[in-house]
Amino acid sequence: MNIVVVGSGYVGLVTGVCFAELGLRVTCMDHDAAKIDRLIMGDIPIYEPGLQNLVLLNQKAGRLSFTTDAAACIGQADAVFIAVGTPTRKGDNHADLQYIFAAARDIAPHLRDYTVIVTKSTVPVGTGRRMASIIRDMNPAAAFDMVSNPEFLREGTAIRDFMRPDRVVVGAETPKAVAVMRRLYEPLTGQDVPLVVTTLETAEMAKYAANAFLAMKITFINQMADLCEVTQANVNDVAKIMGLDQRIGSKFLRAGPGYGGSCFPKDTRALAETARSLGVELGLVRQTMDYNDARKHTMVDRILAAFGGGVAGKTLAILGLTFKPGTDDMRDAASLVIVPALRAAGAHLKLYDPKGMEEAQSCLGDDAGQWCANALDTLSGADGAVLITEWDEFRALSPEAIVRMLRDPVFVDLRNVYDVPAMQAAGVAYTSLGRPVASLVCPSMTRAPAEVL
């Protein structure tokens, strides 16, 4: 089968490359000629583990090509996937659908034989039908069906998430469209991946519901961490105990500085606005958004408190800047709030991220601090350190190395990476999230849940 993927951003590129890897002939289309030129040369504009290799392999095998020309590829496609951005619209927090509707208009004149038009982008409920009417108005003779096939790809593990998904969702209106989608995903469903067939509206809603629920789950554990801090309970163990209950599940219960990235912040905003405009108030989603926004600022207060109430004139090592490990993406990263606030408080910063340096420099400004080459270089000679993103390179740091490198061993860990007793035994003045100081911990209590795992 031939497919075209419109939009060669994060989702489009991963989708196109993975379908090519599954044996389909894939054309990735984008208006951005410079991006397409780079991709043709095998130069991938984003960092995603494994992506570059798969692009090169599939280009070489003749299954993957890149173009800016809709006329040259849409007419031959059995299915056209739309994977363009749906950022937050300026001014009102709704999803901005201008790129989605522009893609529908680009495709419409070139449709020839029966084509399935599939929305991968996260779009508010009802958008699929609006796209269908745009296409029908522009090309009344076109034979096509609209399908909603939301993606559940996490940056950093997107290839694995595509190849081994928990489920494939197909929101469709005709058996013919469902049959095309079943054929496309047969290599995955043949390995027992469930494919859920539903309506357009349900598929569109399900994607927002899943993201909002995960955002809420993170917010819940962050709030539990706040409570643990004033009760001497340990949030890591609370999360383990909760997670062992199969009705809850262990994932997305890691306390942190507040979720970021290109999806949870914008999708919770869009879902809440869609609901409000339809007369439904999603209080849980709104509280999640508000708490998460505020949390990034309360992290700054926590850092200032760890340094005795202020950081003026101090040199701080900042470890990790991207919104999570495994990506160079800085969108809605906690560092975008924390770094400027620490500078405003008078700190001199030494900054480092294993993969996000270029992006971080363009978001935070070249003059945000001293840009360092690795973790040890960053720590060396600093008055203290703040870990914002839990890259593996930082997990490998020993408490002894931290004490050796820092002038004053104050360490604020916003991802609970290190062992509290080990840090304290090494003499680090260690602050993490929702975990009691070692002297107050009863060892048998902390060991029990870990042993169960």
Binding residues vs ligand UGA (CB under 6 A): 122, 151-155, 211, 214, 218, 252-254, 256, 259-261, 263-264, 323-324
Q: How far is the CB of 153 from ligand UGA (least distance, A)?
A: 5
Q: Which is nearer to ligand UGA, 261 or 356 (CB)?
A: 261
Q: CB under 8 Å to 194, separation ≥6 — which residues?
A: 166, 167, 168
Helix (H) or strand (E) holding 118: strand 115-119
* Least separation in angstroms between CB 155 and ligand UGA: 4
For residue 171, the minimal CB distance to ligand UGA (Å) is: 16
Q: Is 442 a catalytic residue?
A: no
| C-beta of residue 5 within 8 angstroms of C-beta of residue 103 | no
**CB closer to ligand UGA out of 208 and 430:** 208
Q: How far is the CB of 253 from ligand UGA (least distance, A)?
A: 6
Pick 214 or 347: Cβ nearer ligand UGA: 214
The answer to whether residues 144 and 115 touch, using CB atoms and an 8 Å cutoff, is: yes
- CA 13/CA 266 separation, integer angstroms: 20
In three-state secondary structure terms, 40 is helix
Please identify which of the residues 73, 263, 363, 442 carries the catalytic annotation. 263
For ligand UGA, the closer of residues 153 and 159 by Cβ is: 153
- The continuous run of DSSP H or E covering 124 comes out as none
Check: CB of residue 215 under 8 Å from CB of residue 268.
Answer: yes
Which residue's CB is nearer to ligand UGA, number 257 or number 436?
257
Query: Whose Cβ is closer to ligand UGA: residue 27's or residue 327's?
Result: 327
Neighbours of 258 (CB within 10 A): 26
Query: Tokens 């900054």, residue?
Result: 351
Minimum Å gap between C-beta 265 and ligand UGA is: 9
Pairwise CA distance, residues 35 & 158, whole Å:
20
Q: Shortest approach of ligand UGA to residue 451 CB, angstroms?
A: 22
3-state secondary structure 368-426: HCEECCCHHHHHCCCCEEEECCCCHHHHCCCHHHHHHHCCCCEEEECCCCCCHHHHHHC
Measured from the CB of residue 122, what is the shortest distance to ligand UGA in angstroms? 6
Look at the alpha carbons of 181, 184, 188, 192 in this order and tell me if their dihedral is positive or negative: positive
Contact 317, 382 (CB under 8 A): yes
- Residue listed under structure tokens 């819940």: 220
Of residues 119, 254, 269, the one with CA closest to residue 200: 119
Nearer to ligand UGA, 151 or 383 (CB): 151
Q: Which sign does the torsion angle of CA 121, 125, 130, 132 carry?
A: positive
Catalytic residues: 263
